[in-house]
């Protein structure tokens, strides 16, 4: 697969799809083998764990996973974005898509309507609360509280089961919210609690450092792709089984998880809060300058901003005991090499750091693909290219992939151990430091990127009737 067809909002497709259904065309077309039709039709939803757009185009864990499957089938990936889970389920039941890659948990109720691929990630369900609240510890603490969750979610099923034991437990199931909307409602104190899958909490907690886990609710579940219950696509089930078996064995699934989740697993809540405050108070002073320098050196400005924050907390006068100085904390030899005369001048320092990063980036072997290439360049920026190369050789010796950051980051800390570094060219290094360095920058970069994306996103269409009293809602629906 080499191309991706334009993403189309489901709301715009529904009239067309309805006509197609009435004409009896959809199922006929869908019954063709996917390879014969030339495209894999996937429905998804917007969010950092599923699909979003960044400067390089479509991305997200589910998108990249679907991209791999389309490549596996050697067809184009055709994506449709839905705002609600019910829209996704209805589209599948009408055979309007081959599958849904939308961060869906397999549940007993969903199995009555749909089939599922093999599971690819275990998730837990978390009750979330604000740090200024009393921590909820059980379902009993949810009774009488204002709770909003996503309609038709696995969380809806969990609460329905809990309500049998706690009849006074009530909540609102909203069809016009996405994950970010639920988090905003909670952060703004418009609701008391919400429920999120653990992977979505992991991907979003850096954006909302004041939101905490109260307790786990329900049993852990498996994320999987949903396919029509009356699936009529020949061979799809078998292809999915072989695909997931293949990417599990060859490590691509693990590398994808590392790319989208690993940098968030050990996020320091205090550090995220400090960064969020710095984005509001300090970054505006330097944002235009960072963007100007980044554009000059063809670097994503958010990456340059993340590096400069990691180095100096956006303080152009910063100085360390070892003598590195400025907003990019350049050593004196590096500053001279990059032609920088005044390390305390923010513009000069940013240019020197950007130039030095590009120099390292260009020396990473061409076969190393992005984003691993940038993570390698950051590690070398911190520890040096020589030590990075030593770690890559060690990775090969340990049977890993020396071109993947997920494997090399496990080898870098071994440079502290004599049994490993004694046989390397460049010897001892504090190899855990570049791992932490890259981890932090990836986290800050992720925060900056998603803040931009969330500001630009189109929110789900508002469903007014669900906010009305029951008597008015019935009159509204009768119109």
Other beta carbons within 10 Å of 425: 10
Other beta carbons within 10 Å of 24: 8
Measure the CA–CA gap between 463 and 180, rounded to whole angstroms: 17
Q: Where are the alpha helices (DSSP H) in 134-197?
A: 154-163, 179-187
- Residue 80 sits at the vertex; the CA angle it makes with 99 and 72, to the nearest 5 degrees, is 50
Instruction: List the end-to-end C-alpha distance of the chain, in Å, as a whole number.
Output: 47
Which one is catalytic: 311, 337, 465, 470?
311
- Catalytic residue status for 311: yes
Measure the CA–CA gap between 150 and 420, rounded to whole angstroms: 50
Count of helices and strands (H, E) across the chain: 23, 14
Q: Nearest to residue 10, comparing CAs of 453, 456, 458, 451?
A: 458
Measure the CA–CA gap between 408 and 262, rounded to whole angstroms: 14
- 393 φ/ψ angles, rounded to the nearest 5 degrees: -65, -45
Peptide bond into 371 cis (omega under 30): yes
Give the CA radius of gyration of the chain: 25
Active site residues: 311
């Amino acid at each position: 697969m080499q191309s991706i067809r334009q993403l189309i909002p489901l709301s715009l497709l529904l009239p067309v799809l309805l006509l197609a259904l009435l004409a009896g065309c959809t199922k006929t077309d869908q019954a063709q083998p996917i390879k014969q039709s030339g495209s894999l039709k996937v429905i998804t939803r917007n969010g950092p764990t599923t699909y979003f757009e960044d400067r390089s185009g479509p991305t997200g864990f589910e998108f990249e996973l679907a991209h791999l499957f389309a490549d596996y089938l050697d067809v184009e990936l055709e994506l449709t974005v839905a705002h609600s889970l019910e829209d996704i389920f209805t589209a599948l039941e009408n055979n309007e898509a081959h599958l849904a890659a939308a961060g869906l948990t397999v549940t007993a109720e969903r199995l009555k309507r749909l089939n599922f691929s093999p599971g690819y990630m275990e998730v837990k369900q978390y009750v979330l609360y604000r740090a200024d609240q009393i921590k909820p510890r059980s379902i009993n603490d949810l009774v009488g509280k204002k709770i909003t969750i996503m309609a038709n979610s696995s969380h809806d099923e969990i609460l329905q089961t809990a309500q049998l034991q706690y009849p006074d437990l009530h909540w609102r199931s909203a069809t016009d919210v996405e994950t970010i909307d639920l988090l905003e409602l909670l952060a703004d104190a418009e609701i008391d609690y919400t429920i999120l899958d653990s992977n979505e909490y992991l991907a979003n907690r850096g954006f909302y450092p004041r939101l905490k886990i109260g307790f786990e609710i329900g049993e852990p579940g498996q994320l999987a792709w949903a396919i029509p219950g009356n699936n009529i696509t020949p061979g799809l089930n078998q292809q999915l089984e072989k695909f997931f078996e293949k990417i599990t064995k060859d490590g691509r699934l693990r590398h994808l998880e590392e790319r989208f989740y690993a940098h968030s697993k050990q996020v320091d809540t205090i550090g995220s809060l400090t960064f969020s405050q710095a984005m509001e108070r300090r970054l505006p002073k330097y944002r235009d300058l960072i963007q100007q320098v980044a554009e000059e050196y063809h670097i994503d400005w958010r990456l340059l901003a993340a590096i400069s924050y990691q180095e100096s907390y956006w303080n152009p006068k910063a100085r360390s005991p070892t003598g590195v100085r400025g907003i990019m904390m350049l050593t004196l030899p590096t500053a001279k090499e990059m032609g920088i005369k005044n390390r305390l001048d923010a513009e000069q320092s940013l240019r020197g750091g950007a130039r030095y990063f590009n120099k390292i980036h260009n020396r990473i072997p061409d076969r190393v693909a992005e984003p691993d290439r940038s993570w390698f360049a950051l590690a070398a920026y911190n520890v040096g290219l020589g030590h990075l190369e030593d770690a890559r050789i060690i990775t090969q010796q340990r049977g890993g992939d020396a071109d993947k950051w997920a494997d090399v980051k496990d080898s870098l800390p071994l440079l502290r151990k004599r049994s490993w570094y004694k046989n390397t060219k460049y010897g001892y290094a504090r190899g855990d430091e570049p791992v932490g360095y890259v981890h932090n920058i990836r986290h800050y970069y992720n925060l900056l990127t998603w803040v931009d994306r969330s500001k630009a996103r189109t929110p789900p269409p508002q469903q007014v009737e669900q906010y009305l009293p029951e008597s008015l809602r019935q009159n509204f629906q009768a119109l």
